[in-house]
Amino acid sequence: FPDSANRDEIILTDGGNRMTESMRRIKIFDTTLRDGEQSPGCSMNLGEKLEMAAQLEELGADVIEAGFAVSSPEDFESVRQIADVLQKTTVASLARATKSDIDTAFDAVQKAKKPRIHVFLASSDIHLQHKLHMTREEMLRQTGEMVRYAKTLVEDIEFSAEDASRTDWEFLVKVYETAIANGANVINVPDTVGYVTPQEMYDLIAYLKENVKGIEKAEISVHCHDDLGMAVANSLAAVRAGATQVECTVNGIGERAGNASLEEIVMALRTRQSYYQAAAGVDTTKIYKTCKKLSAITGVPIGPTKAIVGANAFAHEAGIHQHGVLNDRLTYEIMTPESIGISHNTMVLGKHSGRHAFEEKLKSLGYALSSEALSEAFSAFKKLADLKKNVTDLDLEALLSGAAKMK
Ligand code: KIV
Ligand code: ZN
C-alpha cells in the first residue's frame, strides 16, 4: 500500500491538491442545477440556484451546467442570470440536437465569461427505435449538422451521446468522430441508466481513445448514473482510462438513484492521488459547506453513513477504533475532517466505547478523576450506555455530579 506509507499525502488538512507535472488535471463538471435538479424533491427556485452557483464557483468547479434553458422560462432565466454573475467558471446549458434548443441555450449563456453549449442526442438502438424513431444514419447526420450549427454560435461545444454505454461500440466511434469533425471540443460518454460496471467503463473509454479519429483534439468526459450504486466507481475507472472531465452532482442528487457524487469523486482523487496520478482543482475545504447548503436548500437530508459528508463519516464509537485514533489518526482515518472543512472528528460515546475515549471525553469536559473514581464512573457509564443509544455531555455531567472539575 504505497499510499498508506505516505503519511503527508493522507493527512492533508488544507484545501489544496498537490498537482505534480506528471499528473493529469481532472475537470469537475457540476450538473447539480440541471441533472440534479431533475431529482424528485430537489427543485430549486431562481434565488436558490444563484446561491448554489456562487457556492460551486467558490468550491472551484470548472464547469457548471446551470440548466436546460429551453425546458421552461424559469430554467432559461436561471441559466441567464448565472451566466451573468459567474466570473471564473464555464457556464453550460443543455440543448437537444435541434436548432431551436441550441438557439435558446445560446441566448441563455451568451453573456457568460466562458459560455458552453452542451448538445445531446441518444445513440443506442433502444433509444433510436423506441424514443427518437430514427435510423443510425439519421442520428449521425443530425449530430453533425447540429454540432456544426452550435459551433457557429460559441466556441466551446460539448456533445453527449445519450445512453452511450448501451450503444454498439463501432457505431459510437462514428458518432464521436462526427461530433469532433464538426467542432465538438468535449465528447461526453454518459452511462444514462447506470448500467455498466467499472471494468466495462474502463474498456469503453480505452476503446474510444484507441479508435475515434481526432480524439486527441477533444476532451473526454464521463457522466454516470447510480442505478446499481457504481456511478462513482465507473467515473473513476473512466479517469484511469483517460477521461479528463467528470460530470457529477453535489450529494449525488439526480434522476432515479442519482448521479455520481462530486464530493466522493474529488476526495477519492485526492486521497488516492498517487494511484490515479490525477487531481481536481477543487478547494476541498469547501466541500462540507457546499453539501450542507444544498441539503438546507432542498430539504433533502444527508444520510448518516453517506461517504465524506454523512454525520458518521468522521465519528468513532467502537472502543478499539477510538483508542487507535486517539493514538494516531491514521489507524482508522484515511482523510482528515479538516480537509473537507470540518474542524474535528467526533468520538461518540456509546456502549462500544472504551475507557480511553471515556477518559479523554471527561478531560475535555473539565474533569480530572483519580484512577479509582474513573473506574467507578466508567462502569456507571457502561450501564447507562446499555440503556441509551448515545450518551450525551449532559448525561455525563449528571453521572459525574459532585466530582471535582479541573481549574
Ligand atoms: O444521463 C444522461 O445521459 C444525461 C445527458 C443529457 C448527458 O444527463
Ligand atoms: Zn444524466
Q: Are 357 and 326 in contact (CB under 8 A)?
A: yes
223 marked as part of a ligand binding site: yes
pLDDT at 157 over 90: yes
Ligand index nearest the alpha carbon of residue 160: 1
Residues 163-173 as b or e (16 or more Cβ within 10 Å = b) = bbbbbeeebbb
Rounded Cα gap, residues 81 and 42, in angstroms: 20
Residue with cell 476541498: 284
Closest by CA to 15, choosing from 218, 241, 208, 290, is 290
Residue with cell 430537489: 42
Rounded Cα gap, residues 223 and 234, in angstroms: 9
Find the helix or strand (DSSP H, E) in which 94 lies.
strand 90-96
Residue nearest to atom 8 of ligand 1 (CA): 35
**Closest ligand 1 atom to Cα of 259:** 1
Output the nine-digit C-alpha cell for 47.
434565488
**Closest ligand 1 atom to Cα of 225:** 1
Question: Ligand 1 centre from 323 Cα, in Å?
Answer: 46
pLDDT at 393 over 70: yes
Question: Ligand 1 centre from 401 Cα, in Å?
Answer: 60
Q: Are 234 and 196 in contact (CB under 8 A)?
A: yes
In which band, very low, low, confident or very high, does the pLDDT at 206 lie, cut at 50, 70 and 90?
very high
Ligand index nearest the alpha carbon of residue 68: 1
Rounded Cα gap, residues 307 and 251, in angstroms: 9
Rounded Cα gap, residues 191 and 196, in angstroms: 7
Give φ, ψ of 260 to 5 degrees.
Answer: -60, 140
| 37, 117, 131, 223: residue to mutate for ligand 1 pocket, most atoms within 8 A of CB | 223
Q: Tell me the three state secondary structure of residue 345.
A: coil
Residue nearest to atom 1 of ligand 1 (CA): 192
For 209-256, write each residue's pLDDT tens digit.
999 999 999 999 999 999 999 999 999 999 999 999 999 999 999 999
Q: Tell me the three state secondary structure of residue 122.
A: strand
Output the nine-digit C-alpha cell for 343.
474542524
In which band, very low, low, confident or very high, does the pLDDT at 9 lie, cut at 50, 70 and 90?
low
Question: Ligand 2 centre from 90 Cα, in Å?
Answer: 19
35 marked as part of a ligand binding site: yes
Rounded Cα gap, residues 126 and 117, in angstroms: 26
Output the pLDDT for position 180: 98
Q: Tell me the three state secondary structure of residue 380.
A: helix
Residue with cell 451566466: 83
Rounded Cα gap, residues 307 and 264, in angstroms: 7
pLDDT at 84 over 50: yes
Question: Ligand 2 centre from 363 Cα, in Å?
Answer: 50
Q: Between helices 287-298 and 46-59, what is the axis angle to 10°? A: 170
352 marked as part of a ligand binding site: no
Rounded Cα gap, residues 173 and 243, in angstroms: 15
Say what the ipTM of the complex is: 0.99
Output the pLDDT for position 1: 46
- The CB-based long-range contact list for 356-365 (8 Å cut-off, 24+ gap) reads 356/319, 356/322, 356/323, 356/326, 357/316, 357/319, 357/322, 357/323, 357/326, 360/326, 361/396, 362/396, 362/400, 363/406, 365/393, 365/396, 365/397
Ligand 1 first shell, C-beta below 6 A = 35, 94, 120, 160, 162, 188, 190, 192, 223, 225
Find the helix or strand (DSSP H, E) in which 156 lies.
strand 156-162
Output the pLDDT for position 20: 77
Question: Ligand 2 centre from 152 Cα, in Å?
Answer: 26
Question: Ligand 1 centre from 262 Cα, in Å?
Answer: 16
For 36-62, write each residue's pLDDT tens digit.
998 989 999 999 999 999 999 999 999
In which band, very low, low, confident or very high, does the pLDDT at 263 lie, cut at 50, 70 and 90?
very high
Q: Are 285 and 303 in contact (CB under 8 A)?
A: no
For 358-387, write each residue's pLDDT tens digit.
999 899 889 989 999 999 999 999 999 999
Q: Tell me the three state secondary structure of residue 403.
A: coil
Output the pLDDT for position 12: 61
Q: Please, is 181 exposed, middle or buried when counting C-beta atoms within 10 Å of its C-beta (0-12, 13-18, 19+)? A: middle
**Closest ligand 1 atom to Cα of 162:** 3
The secondary structure of residue 87, as a DSSP letter, is: S
**Closest ligand 1 atom to Cα of 35:** 8
Show Cβ contacts of residue 1 under 8 Å, excluding neighbours closer than 6 positions. none
CA dihedral angle for residue 121, residue 123, residue 125, residue 126, rounded to 10 degrees? -50
Q: Please, is 145 exposed, middle or buried when counting C-beta atoms within 10 Å of its C-beta (0-12, 13-18, 19+)? A: middle
Ligand index nearest the alpha carbon of residue 222: 1
